[in-house]
Amino acid sequence: MPLTSFRLSEVTCGAPTTELADVARRVSEEIDAPELVALVVRLGPTGVTGDLKNLIFAADGPKPKTVFRDAINNDIDIVQNEQYCLVYDRPLGSTGLTWKELTAWWAEREGMADAPAMDISRSLYQRLDRSLGDNNAERRILRTYADRYVQLGPDIPALIPQVYLHYDPYTKRQGCGGPFPPADGLPAATAQPGASRD
């Protein structure tokens, strides 16, 4: 029987769809199964697995330098340039990170809780825009996103510019005055429910 003719309910045994998709992707990388590859392609893009933690983004100055405070719990500290970046440290809800949730976090962070929603949104947009420097391509993406927000409202997935994903370990001696390795970042990202981070 071809792989595509199985009923999903016959092979899932109640496993969550995201786990099954991860297994299918791993298997498709190991064996030659065109039908499986076709199914994996239909699942769409993926990301890194795991829970959101330490979302560091939108530096409007030197890039942040981080160290592990507790490697077992994946707790990190920003040891240099923290004043230039934003750190979202709230758990994600079932809808992922929406613009509404991001602006609520921004309002609390900036002491704007009593400000009108549009003022909070505009303030956050301006801060995110500053992080783009002279990158007009990313600025166009942010502007297009803002236009969609105006049309669709605050419950759309939040666009997070300049997300720092990569940690380069270095010694304590390097961290205390020596050169730091560069932090790698992505131009932008969204945090979707049930999605992994790639």
Residues 36 and 60 in one domain: no
d(CA 30, CA 85): 40
Q: Does 48 fall in a domain?
A: no
Residues 16 and 59 in one domain: no
Q: Does 19 fall in a domain?
A: yes
The answer to whether the pTM exceeds 0.75 is no
Q: Domains in the chain: how many in total?
A: 2
d(CA 107, CA 118): 11
d(CA 177, CA 39): 51
Q: What is the pLDDT along the chain (198 residues), one digit of tens a residue?
A: 444 444 444 444 555 566 666 777 777 777 877 777 777 677 665 555 556 667 899 999 998 888 877 777 777 888 889 999 999 988 887 778 899 999 999 999 999 999 999 999 999 999 999 999 999 999 999 999 999 888 898 999 999 998 887 666 655 555 544 444 444 555 666 666 665 544
Q: Does 178 fall in a domain?
A: yes
Q: Does 195 fall in a domain?
A: no
Per the CB < 8 A criterion, the answer to whether 149 and 99 are in contact is: yes
User: Which two tokens mark 91?
Assistant: 């758990």
Residues 39 and 59 in one domain: no
Residues 75 and 20 in one domain: no
Residues 154 and 66 in one domain: yes
Could you please report the per-residue DSSP string of 106-171? Answer: HHHHHT-TTS-HHHHHHHHHHHHHHTTTT-HHHHHHHHHHHHHHHHH-TTSBPPEEEEE-------
Half-sphere exposure of 106 (CA within 13 A, CB side): 27
Per the CB < 8 A criterion, the answer to whether 125 and 142 are in contact is: yes
Cα torsion 162, 167, 173, 176: sign: positive
Structural domain boundaries, residue 12 = 3-43
Residues 61 and 134 in one domain: yes
Q: Quick one: the chain helix, strand, coil %, rounded to 5?
A: 40, 15, 40
Residues 26 and 59 in one domain: no
d(CA 114, CA 179): 43
